[in-house]
Structure 1
Amino acid sequence: MKITYYGQSCLLVEEGGKKVIIDPFLSGNPQVDVDVKDIQVDAVILTHGHGDHFGDTVEIAQNNNCPVIAVVELAQYAAAKGAADTVGMNLGGSKQFDGFKVKYTLAFHSSSNELDGQNVYLGEPAGILLTMGGKTLYHAGDTALFGDMKLIGEMNHIDVAALPIGDFFTMGPEDALYAAEWVKAKHIIPVHYNTFPPIEQDGDAFVAALDAKGIKGTALKVGESIEL
């Protein structure tokens, strides 16, 4: 499984000739220097509807003629914005796609975006268990720390987990350390930090704190990849 970090919470995941992108906030991200037209994927997967996660979803889906996979209200929103193929799922549900499997988990946050000048509710926020080629990524989405992360770790063989560390809008580094222990992933990637002033954090310091607990982690730079 190859994972490329595109800032904020965006991951491009590749395995077995399949590519999916999670939370593609690219063109509006000051840290990212990538042309949305160059993104080639088989699906767009969303954790929730906020603009720094929904981002370039519709353009990428249209360019690639690929589905948008999201919680049902958010899938309907993507369709209203112009996505031709959407798959509306919900928390606890899973589906096997061609070359990958998606399961949605709890996340404690909020989810909304603008439609016709009004801020609209876009269903429950979520985490994602993405399985490709026998390996599983847990993308926690934007979330506070919550006890059922222990259950997610106990019920699933998680190879890598992407955990938010930005604080202010999500859990911060201290809470993310608890989450890292609870989800029992072999590797941790910090996400959702340093994009805007309120969420400035030291990713390397977080990885060092993981290491002190015997947990492997990598603070990927924007555009950098890791293979697991």
Structure 2
Amino acid sequence: MSAEFKFIHHACFTVTAGGETLICDPFIDGNPIHVSMQDLKVDYIFVSHAHGDHLGCAYELAKQCDALIITTAEIAGQASENGCKAHAMHVGGTYKFPFGKVRVTPAFHGSGIAGGHACGFIIDFHGVKFYFAGDTSLFGDMQLLQDLDPFKYALLPIGGNFTMDPHDAAKAAAFLKAPVVIPIHYNTWPVIAQDPEAYKADVEKNVPGTQVILVDPGDTLEWD
């Protein structure tokens, strides 16, 4: 089955397949394509951690769309307290949803919520498989992820300062061995300004079998 990937900005994107849509880290404030929360219709909301530029409008959007929030236990608890439907998971956990399987992966970053842990996700969404790294540093166990739950697409932060920079994200691409890497979480603010063309050139020169696709806010891609 094919899917449509749409990039909104920062680390926020949607994937539509099988008549359903998910959104990851729904921070839409200041997006340059002027998408509003009211424009969104989603069935599932994935939240990697509770910093404002990732949690975003998750709770309001969940109530607007009657969507299910899938996230770590601490955020899921807070979501439930805010009147949202939520499914609690945690790092290393897997679960089979009606749309497919989710694995919660480590992400080395602040949680943004007391007692929590930042995370990423490997998501099988109606047969389309991708890894959303969330906000993270480079870590060695990235080398294991492709063996645990194979995926075609990897969405990696390259902004530096808060996450991996392009140098470390290129090493991550080598660890992950994904056929397609999409860099995210850069150029939103001056502190995370980077040159994505240089990142693309580095990875495609030094990581055989990996293509880097650069996406601008509003871009859509057909995934398979």
Do Structure 1 and Structure 2 share a fold, with TM-score over 0.5?
yes
| Equivalences for residues 118-197 of structure 1 within 5 A | 120-121=113-114, 123-197=116-190
Matched with 2:104 is 104
Matched with 1:68 is 69
Alpha-carbon distance in structure 1 between the residues aligned to 2:62 and 2:146: 31
Contact 2:79 2:85 in 1 (8 A): no
Matched with 1:39 is 40
Which amino acid in 2 is paired with 1:227? E
Secondary structure of the residue aligned to 1:223 is coil
Contact 1:61 1:83 in 2 (8 A): no
Give the Å deviation of 1:207. 1.5
Alpha-carbon distance in structure 1 between the residues aligned to 2:96 and 2:147: 21
Alpha-carbon distance in structure 2 between the residues aligned to 1:212 and 1:129: 26
Give the Å deviation of 1:204. 2.1
Q: Which runs of 5+ in 2 are unaligned?
A: none
Give the Å deviation of 1:122. 5.4
Alpha-carbon distance in structure 2 between the residues aligned to 1:197 and 1:31: 15
Secondary structure of the residue aligned to 2:211 is coil
Q: TM-score, normalised by structure 1?
A: 0.91
Alpha-carbon distance in structure 2 between the residues aligned to 1:210 and 1:92: 28
Identity %: 36
Is 2:215 aligned against 1:220?
yes
Secondary structure of the residue aligned to 2:139 is coil
Give the Å deviation of 1:79. 2.5
Contact 1:68 1:83 in 2 (8 A): no
Matched with 1:50 is 51
Contact 1:20 1:44 in 2 (8 A): yes
How many pairs are equivalent?
Answer: 219
Matched with 1:16 is 18
Secondary structure of the residue aligned to 1:6 is strand
RMSD of Structure 2 on Structure 1 (CA): 1.4
Q: Which runs of 5+ in 1 are unaligned?
A: 113-119
Which amino acid in 1 is paired with 2:44? A
Give the Å deviation of 1:100. 3.1
Alpha-carbon distance in structure 2 between the residues aligned to 1:39 and 1:62: 12
Matched with 1:77 is 78
Structure 1 runs of 4+ aligned residues shifted over 4 Å read none
Q: TM-score, normalised by structure 2?
A: 0.93
Alpha-carbon distance in structure 2 between the residues aligned to 1:22 and 1:200: 22
Contact 2:100 2:127 in 1 (8 A): no
Alpha-carbon distance in structure 2 between the residues aligned to 1:171 and 1:105: 16
